[in-house]
Amino acid sequence: MLKLFIPIILCFSAMGLELKTGDILLQPLHCRLCNLIEAETNSIYSHIGIVIDTSDEIQVAEAFIKVRSVSLDEFMSKTQKRLKVKVVRPRFSTPNIKELFLNKFNNLSYDSDFLWGNINEKGEMIYCSELIYKLLTPYSYNVPEPAPMRYNVNPKLWDKFFKGNTPRGKLGISPGMFDSEMFFDEIGEI
């Protein structure tokens, strides 16, 4: 019976899906806002996380409700049905990324206004792709750069979401911008 499991393990390993610290997880979600994000960015990914620990149980840093660390299982549980999470790996090392996350970002407020450098009484407010950018840039500038956000796909729905204060032209970054062969190696899907 053991012989049946060996090929499966070897196949999984051969596909390169062993997660490592620093791996970026691009996630399709299913919600009204997620659909707006995906349409605006021409991407199936509306959320993003990063692996910060693989020593015992894989931990993923994300900005979702608040900035936090969750198990890989909890992160994966939000994935849109019948779709997969894409794993990309930076072409540079990310030593001490867990410590950086814990010391600077953990438990900050989630920024549903998607504003760069937005502040509240707890400190900086962060959204998912902003978190990943700010965790990676201490290690390399070879990452996607924030760009002016347009909100020109479904503008009436964006205006409704932002209650008439849509931050058009403000700097931002989206999960889809991390789906780039220029910056990262594609590892596979989970």
Q: Please write the tens of the pLDDT for every residue from 81-131.
A: 999 999 999 999 999 999 999 999 999 999 999 999 899 988 999 999 999
Range of the domain at 32: 19-189
Question: What's the number of domains the chain is made of?
Answer: 1
Tell me whether residue 14 is in a domain. no
Tell me whether residue 167 is in a domain. yes
Contacts within 8 Å (CB) and 24+ apart, 66-72: 66/107, 66/108, 66/109, 66/110, 67/105, 67/106, 67/107, 67/108, 67/109, 67/110, 67/126, 67/131, 68/106, 68/107, 69/101, 69/102, 69/106, 72/19
pLDDT of residue 83: 96
CATH number where 143 lies: 3.90.1720.10
Tell me whether residue 83 is in a domain. yes
% pLDDT > 70, the chain: 92
* Overall pTM > 0.85: yes
Tell me whether residue 39 is in a domain. yes
pLDDT of residue 181: 87
> pLDDT truncated to tens, each residue of the chain (190 aa)?
444 433 333 333 434 489 999 999 999 999 999 999 999 999 999 999 999 999 989 999 999 999 999 999 999 999 999 999 999 999 999 999 999 999 999 999 999 999 998 999 889 999 999 999 999 999 999 999 999 999 999 999 999 999 999 999 999 999 999 998 889 999 999 9
pLDDT of residue 12: 36
